[in-house]
Amino acid sequence: MFLRLLSDIQWRAAHPKWRRMTSSQRSTSTTAEPQPVSLPAQAQVVICGGGITGTSVAYHLSKMGFKDIVLLEQGRLAAGTTRFCAGVVSTARPVSIELKMAHYSNKLYQQLEQETGVQTGYMKTGSISLAQTQDRLISLKRIASSLNVMGIPCEIISPKKVLQLHPLINIHDLVGAMYLPEDALVSSANVSLALATAASRNGVQIHERTSVSHVTIQKGRVTGVETDRGRIRCEYFVNCAGQWAYELGHSGEEPVHIPVHACEHFYLLTHPLQDPVSSSLPTVVDPDGRIYIRNWQGGILSGGFEKNPKPLFTEGRNQLEIQNLQEDWDHFGPLLSALLRRMPGLEALQIMQLVNCPESFTPDMRCIMGESPTARGYFVLAGMNSAGISYGGGAGKYLAEWIVNGYPSENVWPLDLKRFGTLQSSRTFLRHRVMEVMPLMYDLKVPRWDFQTGRQLRTSPLYDRLDAQGARWMEKHGFERVKYFVPPGSDLLDLEHSKTFYKPDWFDIVGSEVKCCKEAVCVIDMSSFTKFEISSTGDQALESLQYLFANDLDVPVGHVVHTGMLNEKGGYENDCSIARLSKRSFFMISPTDQQVHCWAWLKNHLPDDSNLVLEDVTWKYTALNLIGPRAVDVLSELSYAPMTAEHFPSLFCKEMSVGYANGIRVMSITHTGEPGFVLYIPIEYALHVYNEVMNMGQKYGIRNAGYYALRSLRIEKFFAFWGQDLDAFTTPMECGREFQVKLDKGMEFLGQEVLLEQKQNGVYKRFTMFILEDHDTDMDLWPWWGEPIFRNGRYVGKTTSSAYSYTLERHVCLGFVHHFDEKTGEKLVVTTDFINQGEYEIDIAGQRFQAKAKLYPFSSLFTQRRRKDEVELSGYQRE
């Protein structure tokens, strides 16, 4: 309550105009009369939610020139989670886009007081992230590497230095720490009010005590908002309802699935110390102790992310404002122990309050923003995973750009609402998953880590068979996929002990799977890939696809085409393989997590024509990828059909029988550059075909393999993968895929202009392969992705994926190289010479390894002759 009063007073005192408005509202609301300020009948944008995200979106939209904006808040501004927020603005984030948002937020808040006159309590205190273990220190060093190249001051410091910065810390169990001098503290409610004030000056109408009952959607577009005070017609609706975003999304006739779930979050407030703590004392984050500690009014504020979180509101119990939930000291006990262990001097410090403040979490620990895949104009910004104040500013900016420009200025795919589908919006799933996510906030995040809850939702029909053979699973978009197969008798480490930044325990297992792919034949179940069929009565399908895809799809029936689905800027919205099944029907294979995004993109771009049918057939087919030189033998024995390159060339698709089963769609692609086939099997035949393949393959040394082997194979051959290497800001020209673009195919396609321009003027970044030279696989830290790339000692970009190549016996990293002007930092054209004439280093957690840059893959790795026009490597060699 105390915080609340404080913020109200400041807010009103600073703004006479606002005071009039709010005081009239306040007086009317206390007398429970109808409010005098009536809602407008129409607006361009309606924002629901007056917390940090809602006000930030309103602020940025109004700055970007949108005038007709209404912000609705069911209670009072900044009265929800925002009010209770601990107010720590920290850029110590592992995900690059989150780091950028936090960095922007920090800069925004710093000047907000000057801009608006509202006191925000901004104080640049810096923050110290402590490491109790070497592994933790490595993870901090990785963050430090990426902060440094962004120009954010950041330092890895010794425990002694920690003591100098913060005299209360017990440093005896520390191995090091990361210091970010620029991190800040704010009063989050006041920041939110400042943003609201600025927004209202720019014409945003703010209505408190107005709740949205549902959003009306017609023909897949937002048309208006129903509130308890009447209806507002609008073009755009922004759901910033925080922990109520899920419920609000489900309130309409057409649900918008926003997978967020609240957990209770506790923090402690104390009275001032005898020597009051300085307000400039750095914030301390002790992830191994699961706590954070900041100074607060001469005392401290300390909270954390416990191992056993308490999810709440699973049943969606709505309430106007977050009432002060029960304090639960027993639950807070372990965190209090950690606090006293970290700062033993605080024993005698007197408790003021234990605050219980619900925070909303998402299934993958990243916030949710973007447009609904089903309702155009319905935007979402929610699920801040307890970092609302750090992300709020930046996230609001990106979302505003999204609404105004159609797409934000950065790649926000990791945060895009469309990475989730309906399958992540089960209440049970969310409840279970957030219980894993919340502790993960402070758990050690290591490469190749998988969620343990909410699993075995989507499985292949072969799941049990594979599991019985030692499969170890990972999950993508709810689908279980095999990582690798543990041979009988070999013991892997348990989950907790297998966490490492170094060589993982499965190294040899995957190595032998790769070897089998190279020398014999392996089967990988790839059923999770998204599969669409597009067909039409006439030429509509071909015409539409020719417009949406850069490659020429007017190929003979039975051909498979690799092509990008590009946006107006030539960037990859999707990267897929399309088989022409007949004159008028196409079969499209995309990455697993494209299911929602690609569907929405196609739905939005395909003409509204009942003769053109788009169908999601993902669930209809089980895909078996037969990789290896002997795949051809296995398949020909099973089908009594010649499968050699003369009869079945690369990038070909044919329906045929395998064993007793007919109608198996066989494609001569493997997604790895190795010879082989993918079999698309109607699911009822899956077990039969699998058994036949395994039996027949025995004499050819067939074995099961998993995605890790696949990954190693594709990366050593310089195959980019959408979602990891490719994104909406990468064009085919930038990743050496000009050969997949047919600028002269005789008709216009999306992104054509940009590609033409790039073809003439060159590109500003270039996808490059790096071979680590002086890297000891056994002893050195492994690259992951996101490692800075240095050319002649200067930062030029980051890696996007990496893998150990068992053939090259080296680590291979893929990443983008930019050419920054040495003086201005301006991006210059990247030429082949620029790439070839540099000395490269890759920075892994602060340690630099020499790397050899290559713009084309090793031809020695390709064993098979390919159809001439489609050979990937020729594309590179042509330059």
Partner 1 sequence: MLAASCCDRRMCVCPGPRRIAIPVRSSRLPLLSDAMPAPAHLFPLIRNCEISRIGSTACYCHHKHLCCLSSHFAHSHFRYAPQKKFAALYRPKEHFNHFIHARDYASTPQRFYLTPAQVNSILKANEYSFKVPEFDGKNVSSVLGFDSNQLPANAPIEDRRSAATCLQTRGMLLGVFDGHAGCACAQAVSERLFYYIAVSLLPHETLLEIENAVENGRALLPILQWHKHPNDYFSKEASKLYFNSLRTYWQELIDLNSGETTDVREALINAFKRLDNDISLEAQVGDPNSFLNYLVLRVAFSGSTACVAHVDGVDLHIANTGDSRAMLGVQEEDGSWSAVNLSYDHNAQNEHEVERVKMEHPKSEEKSLVKQDRLLGLLMPFRAFGDVKFKWSIELQKRVVESGPDQLNDNEYTKFIPPNYHTPPYLTAEPEVIHHKLRPQDKFLVLATDGLWETMHRQDVARIVGEYLTGVHHQQPIAVGGYKVTLGQMHGLLTERRARISSVFEDQNAATHLIRHAVGNNEFGTVDHERLSKMLSLPEELARMYRDDITIIVVQFNSRVIGAYQNEEL
Q: Does 1 bind partner 1 (CB under 8 A)?
A: no
Q: Does 336 bind partner 1 (CB under 8 A)?
A: yes
CB 497 → partner 1: shortest distance, Å? Answer: 24
Q: How far apart are CA 130 and CA 139, in angstroms?
A: 11
CB 349 → partner 1: shortest distance, Å? Answer: 5
Tokens 């901004």 locate to 122
Q: Does 354 bind partner 1 (CB under 8 A)?
A: yes
Stretch that binds partner 1, among 190-198, 332-340, 538-546, 767-775 (CB under 8 A): 332-340
CA torsion angle 464 465 469 473 (round to 10)? -50
Candidates 353, 469, 500, 657; binder of partner 1 (CB under 8 A) is 353
Query: Helices in 92-244 by DSSP H: which ranges?
Result: 96-116, 134-149, 159-165, 188-201
Helix (H) or strand (E) holding 159: helix 159-165
Are residues 674 and 711 in contact, defined by beta-carbon separation less than 8 angstroms? no
CB 340 → partner 1: shortest distance, Å? Answer: 6
Q: Does 21 bind partner 1 (CB under 8 A)?
A: no
Residue closer to partner 1, measured from CB, 169 or 844: 169
Stretch that binds partner 1, among 350-358, 611-619, 783-791, 838-846 (CB under 8 A): 350-358
Strands 621-627 and 522-525: antiparallel
CB 291 → partner 1: shortest distance, Å? Answer: 12
844 by DSSP, 3-state: which?
strand
Residue closer to partner 1, measured from CB, 193 or 293: 293
Residue closer to partner 1, measured from CB, 33 or 330: 330
CB 329 → partner 1: shortest distance, Å? Answer: 4
Residues in contact with partner 1, total (CB under 8 A)?
22
CB 332 → partner 1: shortest distance, Å? Answer: 8
Residue closer to partner 1, measured from CB, 333 or 487: 333
Stretch that binds partner 1, among 55-63, 306-314, 335-343, 747-755 (CB under 8 A): 335-343
Are residues 587 and 531 in contact, defined by beta-carbon separation less than 8 angstroms? yes
Stretch that binds partner 1, among 179-187, 222-230, 337-345, 676-684 (CB under 8 A): 337-345
Q: Does 349 bind partner 1 (CB under 8 A)?
A: yes
Name which of residues 239 to 268 contact partner 1 (CB under 8 A). Answer: 268
Q: Does 351 bind partner 1 (CB under 8 A)?
A: yes
Candidates 33, 253, 315, 347; binder of partner 1 (CB under 8 A) is 347
- Provide the b/e sequence for 107-138 (b: ≥16 CB within 10 Å): ebbbebbeebebbbbbbebbbbbbbbeebbbb
- Rounded to a whole number of angstroms, the distance between the first and last alpha carbons of the chain is 67
Could you tell me which residues are beta bridge partners of residue 379?
238, 371
Residue closer to partner 1, measured from CB, 151 or 345: 345
Candidates 346, 526, 612, 871; binder of partner 1 (CB under 8 A) is 346
Residue closer to partner 1, measured from CB, 108 or 336: 336
What are the distances in angstroms from CA 130 to CA 144, 155, 279, 284?
13, 12, 20, 7
Residue closer to partner 1, measured from CB, 170 or 353: 353
Instruction: Tell me the one-letter amino acid at 469.
Output: Q
Q: Does 337 bind partner 1 (CB under 8 A)?
A: yes
Residue closer to partner 1, measured from CB, 162 or 336: 336
What are the distances in angstroms from CA 349 to CA 169, 223, 293, 433, 642?
15, 55, 14, 36, 81
CB 464 → partner 1: shortest distance, Å? Answer: 35
Candidates 2, 329, 619, 660; binder of partner 1 (CB under 8 A) is 329
Are residues 381 and 240 in contact, defined by beta-carbon separation less than 8 angstroms? yes
Q: How far apart are CA 675 and CA 521, in angstroms?
A: 9
Stretch that binds partner 1, among 160-168, 323-331, 358-366, 539-547 (CB under 8 A): 323-331
Other Cβ atoms closer than 10 A to 238:
32
Are residues 412 and 369 in contact, defined by beta-carbon separation less than 8 angstroms? yes
Could you tell me which residues are beta bridge partners of residue 766?
817
Other Cβ atoms closer than 10 A to 301:
22
Are residues 716 and 808 in contact, defined by beta-carbon separation less than 8 angstroms? yes
Residue closer to partner 1, measured from CB, 299 or 732: 299
Residue closer to partner 1, measured from CB, 251 or 297: 297
Residue closer to partner 1, measured from CB, 336 or 634: 336
Are residues 514 and 806 in contact, defined by beta-carbon separation less than 8 angstroms? yes
User: Which class for 4: exposed (0-12), middle (13-18), buried (19 or more C-beta within 10 A)?
Assistant: middle
Residue closer to partner 1, measured from CB, 337 or 452: 337
Residue closer to partner 1, measured from CB, 347 or 869: 347
User: Which class for 530: exposed (0-12), middle (13-18), buried (19 or more C-beta within 10 A)?
Assistant: buried
Pair of tokens at residue 688: 């039969």
Q: Does 301 bind partner 1 (CB under 8 A)?
A: no
Residue closer to partner 1, measured from CB, 11 or 296: 296
Candidates 228, 328, 508, 684; binder of partner 1 (CB under 8 A) is 328
Candidates 278, 350, 405, 877; binder of partner 1 (CB under 8 A) is 350
Tokens 């499969």 locate to 471
Residue by residue, DSSP assigns 649-694 as -SSBEEEEEETTEEEEEEES--SSSSSEEEEEEEGGGHHHHHHHHH
Radius of gyration of the CA atoms of the chain, in A: 28
Residue closer to partner 1, measured from CB, 354 or 457: 354
Stretch that binds partner 1, among 274-282, 320-328, 391-399, 407-415 (CB under 8 A): 320-328
Q: How far apart are CA 90 and CA 480, in angstroms?
A: 35
Candidates 280, 326, 409, 877; binder of partner 1 (CB under 8 A) is 326
Pair of tokens at residue 273: 């110390």
Other Cβ atoms closer than 10 A to 453:
14
Pair of tokens at residue 713: 């194979």
Residue closer to partner 1, measured from CB, 231 or 331: 331
Residue closer to partner 1, measured from CB, 343 or 813: 343
Candidates 33, 275, 330, 608; binder of partner 1 (CB under 8 A) is 330
Could you tell me which residues are beta bridge partners of residue 797?
789
- If phi > 0 it is left, if psi is from -120 to 50 it is alpha, else beta; for residue 679 that is beta
Residues with Cβ < 8 Å from 408, sequence gap 6 or more?
397, 398, 399, 401, 402
Helix (H) or strand (E) holding 466: helix 463-468
Residues with Cβ < 8 Å from 800, sequence gap 6 or more?
720, 724, 725, 785, 786, 814, 815, 816
Candidates 234, 339, 623, 715; binder of partner 1 (CB under 8 A) is 339
Q: How far apart are CA 879 and CA 870, in angstroms?
A: 15
Stretch that binds partner 1, among 67-75, 347-355, 579-587, 837-845 (CB under 8 A): 347-355
Name which of residues 115 to 174 contact partner 1 (CB under 8 A). Answer: none
Q: Does 333 bind partner 1 (CB under 8 A)?
A: yes
CB 336 → partner 1: shortest distance, Å? Answer: 5
CB 342 → partner 1: shortest distance, Å? Answer: 12
Residue closer to partner 1, measured from CB, 268 or 441: 268
Stretch that binds partner 1, among 203-211, 348-356, 379-387, 491-499 (CB under 8 A): 348-356
Stretch that binds partner 1, among 31-39, 197-205, 338-346, 658-666 (CB under 8 A): 338-346
CB 712 → partner 1: shortest distance, Å? Answer: 46
Q: Does 272 bind partner 1 (CB under 8 A)?
A: no
Which residues contact partner 1 (rule: CB under 8 A)? 268, 270, 326-330, 332-333, 336-337, 339-340, 346-354
